Structure 1
Amino acid sequence: ATAPFHGCAAMALLAVGGGALSAGRYWIGTGAAVALDAVLFGAGTALGLAAAVAVPYLMVTRHRPTLADATPVWLLPLVAPMVSAALGPALVPHLPPGQPRETLLLGCLALFGLSLLATLLMLPLLLARLLLHGPLPLALTPALFLVLGPLGQSTTATGAIADLAPGVVPAPYDRGLAVFAVLYGVPVMGFALLWLAFAAAQLVRARRRGMRFAPTWWGLTFPVGTCVTGAASLARHTGLAGYAGLAVGLYALLLVAWAAAATGTVRGLLSGTLLPAPPPARGELRAARVRTRSGAVR
Structure 2
Amino acid sequence: MTIVNSRHHTSRRLQMIRGAVRRFEPNWFAATMGTGVVALILGHFVSVPLLYQAGQTLWVLNALMFIVFCGLYGMRWALAFEEARTIAAHPVMSMALGTIPMGLATITNGFLLFGVGLLGPVAIEIAHGLWWLDSALSVACGLGVPFLMFTRQTHSPQQMTGAWLLPLVAAEVAAVSGILLAAHLPLAEQSGVLLASLALWACSVPLALGLVAVLVVRMIIHSLPPASVAPSCWLALGPIGTGALGMVLFGQIAPTALANTELAPLAGAIAGTCLLLGTVLWGYGLWWVGLASLISLRYFTAPVPFNPGWWAYVFPLGVFTLATMALAEIWSSSALHILSITLVVALCLIWLTVALRSIAQTVQASGFAAPAWTNN
Q: Give me the TM-score of the superposition, normalised by structure 1.
A: 0.87
Spell out, residue by residue over 1:243-275, the C-alpha distance to the aligned partner (whole angstroms, 9 max, x if none): 222211111111111011012112223333974
1:117-128 alignment, distance < 5 Å: 117-128=206-217
Count of residues in correspondence between the two structures: 275
Q: What letter corresponds to residue 253 of structure 2 in structure 1?
A: L
- The answer to whether the aligner puts 1:203 opposite 2:296 as a matched pair is yes
SS at the partner of 2:300?
Answer: helix
Identify which of structures 1 and 2 has the higher relative contact order when contacts are C-alpha pairs closer than 8 Å and 6+ apart.
Answer: 2
SS at the partner of 1:213?
Answer: coil
Q: 1:46 aligns with which of 111, 133, 136?
A: 136
1:252 is matched with which residue? 345
Q: 2:285 aligns with which of 192, 195, 199?
A: 192
Q: Is the 8 A contact 1:161 1:177 kept in 2?
A: no
Distance 2:293 2:199 in 1: 32
Identity of aligned residues (%): 28
Q: 1:33 aligns with which of 113, 117, 123?
A: 123
Q: Give me the TM-score of the superposition, normalised by structure 2.
A: 0.69
Q: 1:240 aligns with which of 322, 333, 340?
A: 333
Q: How far is 1:118 from its partner?
A: 1.2
Spell out, residue by residue over 1:218-258, the C-alpha distance to the aligned partner (whole angstroms, 9 max, x if none): 11111111011101121222222222222111111111110
Distance 1:136 1:265 in 2: 22
Q: How far is 1:137 from its partner?
A: 1.0
- The answer to whether the aligner puts 1:10 opposite 2:105 as a matched pair is no
- The answer to whether the aligner puts 1:110 opposite 2:174 as a matched pair is no
Q: How far is 1:41 from its partner?
A: 0.4
2:276 is matched with which residue? 183
Distance 2:366 2:335 in 1: 43
1:1-298 alignment, distance < 5 Å: 1-30=92-121, 32-98=122-188, 100-169=189-258, 170-272=263-365, 275-276=368-369
Distance 1:194 1:274 in 2: 38
Distance 2:283 2:367 in 1: 36
Q: Could you say if the C-alpha distance between residues 127 and 265 of structure 1 is closer, same or farther in structure 2, counting changes exceeding 3 Å?
A: same
Q: Give the root-mean-square deviation of aligned CA atoms.
A: 1.8
Q: Could you say if the C-alpha distance between residues 34 and 174 of structure 1 is closer, same or farther in structure 2, counting changes exceeding 3 Å?
A: same
Spell out, residue by residue over 1:139-198, the C-alpha distance to the aligned partner (whole angstroms, 9 max, x if none): 211111111111111111112112221232132332123212321122222221211121
Q: Is the 8 A contact 1:7 1:51 kept in 2?
A: yes
Q: What letter corresponds to residue 108 of structure 2 in structure 1?
A: G
Distance 2:314 2:96 in 1: 16
Distance 1:9 1:25 in 2: 24
1:293 is matched with which residue? none
Q: How far is 1:57 from its partner?
A: 1.3
Distance 2:320 2:279 in 1: 12
Q: Is the 8 A contact 1:159 1:237 kept in 2?
A: no
**Structure 1 stretch 170-179 or stretch 119-128: which is displaced more?**
170-179
Distance 1:183 1:97 in 2: 25
Distance 2:367 2:316 in 1: 23
In structure 1, the gaps of 5 or more residues are 278-298
1:294 is matched with which residue? none
**Structure 1 stretch 88-97 or stretch 9-18: which is displaced more?**
88-97
Q: How far is 1:96 from its partner?
A: 3.7
Q: What letter corresponds to residue 305 of structure 2 in structure 1?
A: R
SS at the partner of 2:155?
Answer: coil
Distance 1:255 1:68 in 2: 33
In structure 2, the gaps of 5 or more residues are 1-91, 371-376
